[in-house]
Amino acid sequence: MRFYTQQHQFYCGIDVHARTMYVCILNQDGEILVHRDMQASPETFLKAIAPYREDMVVAVECIFTWYWLADLCAHEGLPFVLGHALYMKAIHGGKAKNDRIDARKIAVLLRGGMLPQAYVYPAEMRATRDLLRRRMHFMRQRAAWLTHIQHTKSQYNVPEIGKKIAYKANREGVAARLPDPAVQKSMEVDLALIDHDDRLLRDMALTILKTAKPHDANTLYLLRTVPGIGELLSLVLLYEIHDIHRFPRVQDFVSYCRLVKCAKASAGKRYGTSGTKIGHAYLTWAFAAAAVLFLRAHPTGQRSLTRLEKKHSQGKAFTVLAHKLARAVYDMVQRKTVCDMPTFFRG
């Protein structure tokens, strides 16, 4: 956990929403200078902070409405801090909670050097990252249509065609094999949605790839040298990691990827683990998918997994492999070297 500890003359805490925001500005002595609700617009905000902006820091909680405020502060040369939502227990755990209280608590935490920080993703790459996440959403939707077709075939005990319907060439006549016209129509809708998603996904992937190469083509190439990390997974890793140097140690990186369990202890006694929801869900998925694809066409990796399964359970063995891949990616990107499989298995 990182805290913002720099000292300023004024501290601005904002509880920001889509149309309104509550602003609280404190001085170094903790006195409230501004504490009011206002319209969420650049003009209103800049007018409110005008007398105090000479040496002021701005902080908001990490919810979906922070983009425009971070970009405005960057343009105006104001220090901006993004508060980590899950760590900010002083807000979530209060007896009473409203916008007025939340804005003041953010300002107090900021002034006291106790505001836990989240990463402020740079504006120049943020839109492409969000487009990539949107594409992942459509991929899951496509998987849902395919799953519904398989479930429907099982409901009516229709024999398998022996081909993967994920490929367009194998979908001919799939709906006609169902007996009822209404069921056939349901299948036709699923197939039409899959065809439409395929076109969208190809177009989105092409756009993302064209944008990614100017951003960091070298890192993209390094990531693809890892068996199991292809074109799309390398894009996910590139945009979700962004700057590997923001992680001082490899332990910080794998913890950020949710690939380690954090011990919960008190008075020398251990009470299990905690913090399973704190970290990056997209990187957790990416390394889990990379581990599965790594095993698919890598006999040495399959033998390594078998050895791990003898020591741990199957699920734990997959997590250990994903953890090893994350450590390898951290080392590769830090040192700007390609993947070395002999070193990977020795490690």
- Average pLDDT of span 273-285: 86
Provide the pLDDT for residue 173: 85
Side chain identity at residue 179, one-letter code: P
222 exposure class (CB count in 10 Å sphere: 0-12, 13-18, 19+) = buried
% of the chain exceeding 70 in pLDDT:
99
pLDDT of 347 over the 90 cut: no
Once rounded to an integer, what is the mean pLDDT over residues 1-9? 92
Q: Which amino acid is present at 156?
A: Y
Q: State the pLDDT at residue 93.
A: 77
Q: What is the pLDDT of residues 224-273, one digit of tens each?
A: 999 889 999 999 999 999 999 999 999 999 999 999 888 888 888 888 87
Q: Residue 14 pairs with which residues in a beta bridge?
A: 23, 60
DSSP 245-274: GG-SSHHHHHHHTT-SPEEEEETTEEEEEE
User: Could you read off the pLDDT of 319-342 as tens digits, one per residue?
Assistant: 999 999 999 999 999 999 998 877
What mean pLDDT comes out for the span 209-216?
Answer: 88
Residue 263's φ and ψ, nearest 5 degrees, are: -75, 145
